Chains A and B, each alone.
Chain A
């Protein structure tokens, strides 16, 4: 009886979390313009999604931005973490403290403050994409840093010393000894940066060029009344993103299980 109540609860919460996405996915394969009215099977939404120049450039732009920001954040965060880990107490404390700011800060405040700094003080044009990349990078680097530091803590420092004794230069030892050991942290930091950039609305909206849209800003504008064909094409986009996330999670889990065995 207790088991039954527990299972019911779990399924109800899962239903709340997934029903909207799944129902929308179902209707994305029909020619309905609103959910609830069943019509015929159709791939029109997917055709619209991949043939409307606006939508394609928005999707490609979002992905290019996410990869750029994630690469920058990963490089900066990884070398920053290595540097801070071997620095003196004071400089390390300073970096740790400053690193925590974007983590706890509200994204609205991060976006707004980076916007004033880059646009009102430094006078960098939004059209250069520089404020946008800086803003999102400022949000993402701390998470890369936080995922690399634990790996450095776990590492056996005598291996690095051994490499030096055996004739490696410090740069070689870093590349061939330290880096492979912290790689899992670097990869998970990169993934975190990608998801943060893809999910970001607030920093993008304050710092992006007027003519550029990310998925988030595009969707929010689309809800303020727009063509029905665009609205339903976004259902198709949401379905594709859902499937991609499911696949990534599935393969990550399979790899983890393999590692454990």
Chain B
């Protein structure tokens, strides 16, 4: 029998890799989340999470941080993306490059830089740890909000706006009823790209000496004490939140959220 090569077979190594190192880790997390130390199935870890004031407080605190960070990013990014998209064909993309470039500089070094500035302005970083956390997160994630919004505004068909204006709509009305709905997919994918990291990127908090926990810090601390069970519980709760966000954003956009993360490179 002759061996015949077909292009389909090239998918096999990657399919095996995905099963072993993407799907299996999640199965293991599910297993640890729903079992106790003896390997018996138990919901005790989850009940404990929702009964403890400390952990529920952490969940709420990270949601608050994530909402505030996302809203500020959106308020800064939307006008920026809008103005950039209205620039001349040549200068627009070049200017966009300037706004996207920080993505490629290591985020810990960028936050170190901002931290030095805040230190100089405030004298003692620990005094305003909450505000500093938000400032650093906005600084870190802003490019991820600007890029997808810019992409949808740049594709916007101007004839819709002109038609609305010709029919007598005011500028504010055109914005609310024409521009905003048409650019909603960009907003949604920007929001998904900022919201989740704001709930989990606890390095930012560590770096500005904010000792409050967010969801990511819980995983970090359970990891340090080799508590796989509780670490898995937090992971599962985060996965559920990710699932909800992905489901919502899938209704607005065709491609997934972070798929556009690096689209500027292409």
Which A residues lie at the B interface, using CB under 8 A? 6, 9-10, 13-14, 16-21, 23-24, 27, 34-36, 76-77, 79-88, 91-92, 94-95, 98-110, 112-117, 120-121, 134, 137-138, 141, 143, 145-147, 169-171, 174, 185, 188, 191-192, 195-196, 198-199, 201-202, 206, 215-216, 219-220, 223-224, 234-235, 237-238, 241-242, 245-246, 248-249, 253
Which single residue of chain A is at the shortest CB-CB distance from B76?
A13
The chain B residues found within 8 Å of chain A, CB to CB, are 5-15, 17-19, 21-26, 28-29, 32, 76, 79-80, 83-84, 86, 94-95, 97-99, 101-110, 112-117, 119-120, 139, 142-143, 192, 196-197, 199-203, 206-207, 216, 219-220, 223, 228, 231-232, 235, 238-239, 242, 245-246, 256-259, 261-262, 265-266
Contact of B265 among A82, A134, A192 (CB under 8 A): A192
Residues of B within 8 A of A117 (CB): 21, 24-25, 28
State the CA gap A64–B7 with chains docked (Å).
Answer: 32
Q: Is the CB of A83 within 8 A of B99?
A: no
- Assess the B22–A121 pair: CB atoms within 8 A: no
Q: For B242, list chain A residues within 8 Å (CB).
A: 104-106, 109
Bound CA span A234–B105, Å? 13
Could you tell me the distance between the alpha carbons of A219 and B101 in the complex, rounded to whole angstroms?
20
Residues in A whose Cβ lies below 8 Å from that of B8: 83, 86-88, 91
Q: List 21 A-B contacts (CB under 8 A).
A: A6-B86, A10-B80, A14-B98, A16-B139, A21-B102, A76-B17, A80-B10, A83-B15, A100-B256, A104-B196, A106-B200, A108-B220, A188-B262, A199-B104, A202-B216, A206-B223, A219-B112, A223-B206, A238-B105, A248-B104, A249-B97
Partner of B262, one of A17, A34, A105, A195: A195
Q: What residues on A are CB-neighbors of B119 within 8 Å?
A: 34-35
Complex: how many Å from CA A76 to CA B17?
9
Who on chain B is nearest to A252 by CB?
B265
Taking CB atoms, residues of chain A closer than 8 Å to B9 are 83
A116-B228, A216-B106, A246-B101 known; A171+B19 contact, CB < 8 A = no
Nearest chain-A residue to B18 (Cβ)?
A: A98
- Min Cβ gap B221→A in Å is 12
B11 to chain A: which residues have CB within 8 Å?
79-80, 82-84, 87, 91-92, 95
Inter-subunit contact B6/A170 (CB<8 Å): yes
From known contacts A34-B116, A104-B256, infer whether A9 and B79 are also in contact, taking CB-CB under 8 Å. yes
Distance (whole angstroms) from the CB of A151 to the closest CB of chain B: 10
Q: Assuming A20-B110, A77-B14, A98-B22, what are 5 further A-B pairs, CB within 8 angstroms?
A: A83-B14, A86-B6, A92-B11, A113-B29, A242-B105
A60 vs B217: C-alpha distance when bound (angstroms): 29
How far does the Cβ of A155 sit from chain B's closest Cβ, in whole Å? 12
Residue of B whose beta carbon sits closest to that of A171: B5
Task: Give the distance to chain A from B145, nearest Cβ to Cβ, in Å.
Answer: 11
For A94, the chain B residues whose CB sits under 8 A away are 15
With contacts A101-B26, A245-B101 taken as known, whether A112 is within 8 angstroms of B223 at the C-beta atoms is yes
Considering only CB atoms, which chain A residue lies closest to B245 in the complex?
A104
Asked if residues B28 and A10 are in contact (CB atoms below 8 Å), the reply is no
* Also in contact, A116 and B28, with CB within 8 A (given A219-B108, A241-B106): yes
Closest Cβ neighbor of B11 among chain A residues = A83
Q: Which 10 A-B pairs have the closest CB atoms?
A: A80-B14, A83-B11, A83-B10, A113-B25, A20-B113, A219-B108, A238-B109, A98-B18, A86-B7, A24-B113
Closest to B80 in A: A13
Q: In the docked arrangement, what's the CA distance between A245 and B264, Å?
A: 14
Q: Measured between C-beta atoms, what is the minimum distance from B16 to chain A in Å?
A: 10
| Distance from A175 Cβ to chain B, minimum over Cβ atoms (Å) | 12
Given contact pairs A84-B11, A141-B17, A219-B106, A113 touches B256 in the complex (Cβ within 8 A) = no
CA gap between A24 and B15 in the complex, in Å: 45
A215 close to B94 (CB less than 8 A): no
B28 touches A145 (CB 8 A): no
Is B120 within 8 A of A108, CB to CB? no
Q: Are the C-beta atoms of A106 and B113 separated by less than 8 Å?
A: no
B94 CB contacts on chain A under 8 angstroms: 253
Minimum CB–CB distance from A60 to chain B (whole Å) comes to 15
Flag if A24 contacts B197 (CB, 8 Å).
Answer: no
Indicate if the CB atoms of A170 and B7 lie closer than 8 Å. yes
Contact B112 A234 (CB under 8 A): yes
Least CB distance, B157 to chain A, in whole angstroms = 22
Pair B14/A17 contact, Cβ less than 8 Å: no
A27 to B117, CA, bound (A): 12
Query: In whole angstroms, what is the CA distance A195 to B114 when docked?
Result: 21
Q: Which residue of B lies closest to A218 (CB)?
A: B108
Residue pair B21, A101 in contact (C-beta under 8 Å): no
Q: Which residue of B17, B142, B143 has the most chain A CB atoms within 10 A of its CB atom?
A: B17
Chain B residues with CB under 8 Å of A202's CB are 203, 216
Known: A114-B25, A116-B228, A245-B101. A106 touches B238 (CB 8 A): yes
